[in-house]
Structure 1
C-alpha cells in the first residue's frame, strides 16, 4: 500500500490559548489512536518550532557541511507531520480530513514515492 505524508506549516496554526491547544491535543490523540486501530498509522509528530535548534547537512559542493540553523530561512516552516499507509488517495483524504478537523488548521497531503 502507498504511504502518504499529511503535514502542516507552523504559520497555518494561528494564535490560540493554552486551553484551546489542550483540547486539540486530545482530539489529535484520538485520531492517532483511530489510525492505529485501523492499521494505517506509521508515524506522527510535531516539529520543534525553535529554528535556533535546527541544523542542516549539505553535500552539494562535494564536501559535507554540517551547519547550525535551518538550511535556508523560509516564509513557512514545517510544523508537524503524519505518515499513513493506506490503499489509495481516497483513504489518504479521509485521514487528512480527520487530522485537519482535530488540529483545527489545514493539512497538505503528498504521496511518498
Structure 2
C-alpha cells in the first residue's frame, strides 16, 4: 500500500464565512469515512497564524523560507492500494472542500 497526500492551498477554496461550517462538516465526513474504511493515516490544516521558519543543521532559525515553498491549506494522508483509489478519494475531498485537490504519493519508507 502507498500513502498519498491529498491537499489544497488555502487560496484555492473560495467559500464565504457562512459556508465554512458546512464545508468543514463535509470534509470531516470524508475523513471519518476514510477512518471507517481503514485507509486514514492523518489529516489537518496548516496553522496560518503561526509563522513558518527554516531550521539549519546547526540549529540556526531563519524566517527566510525556500523560494516558492509557502505551504497553506488543508491536507489528508491516506494509505491506499492503487492510484485509482487515490483519485477517487481526492475527488471526494474536492467535492467536500469545494476546490480541486493536489495528489502526491509518498515514497516507500522501509522503516514502517
Whether these two folds match at TM > 0.5 is: yes
Question: Which one has a larger percent strand, Structure 1 or Structure 2?
Answer: 1
Aligned residue for 2:19, secondary structure, equals: helix
Shift of 1:81: 1.1
- Is residue 2:61 matched to residue 1:66? yes
The structure-2 alpha-carbon separation of the partners of 1:53 and 1:4, relative to structure 1 and needing over 3 Å to count, comes to: same
Q: In structure 1, what is the equivalent of residue 24 of structure 2?
A: 25
- Tell me, which stretches of 5 or more residues in structure 2 are unaligned? 108-112
Question: Which one has a larger percent helix, Structure 1 or Structure 2?
Answer: 1
- Pairwise mapping of residues 10-21 of structure 1 onto structure 2 (< 5 A)? 10-14=10-14, 16-21=15-20
The structure-2 alpha-carbon separation of the partners of 1:96 and 1:73, relative to structure 1 and needing over 3 Å to count, comes to: same
Task: Give RMSD over aligned pairs.
Answer: 1.9
Shift of 1:78: 2.5
* CA–CA distance in structure 2, aligned partners of residues 5 and 34 of structure 1: 16
* CA–CA distance in structure 2, aligned partners of residues 54 and 2 of structure 1: 28
The structure-2 alpha-carbon separation of the partners of 1:104 and 1:56, relative to structure 1 and needing over 3 Å to count, comes to: same
Structure 2-normalised TM-score? 0.84
**Is the 2:4–2:78 contact (alpha carbons within 8 Å) kept by the matching residues of 1?**
yes
Structure 1-normalised TM-score? 0.83
- Pairwise mapping of residues 1-113 of structure 1 onto structure 2 (< 5 A)? 1-14=1-14, 16-50=15-49, 53-59=51-57, 63-67=58-62, 69=63, 71-72=65-66, 74=68, 77-113=71-107
- Runs (4 or more) in structure 1 with deviation over 2 Å come to 72-78
- Tell me, which stretches of 5 or more residues in structure 1 are unaligned? none
Shift of 1:17: 2.2
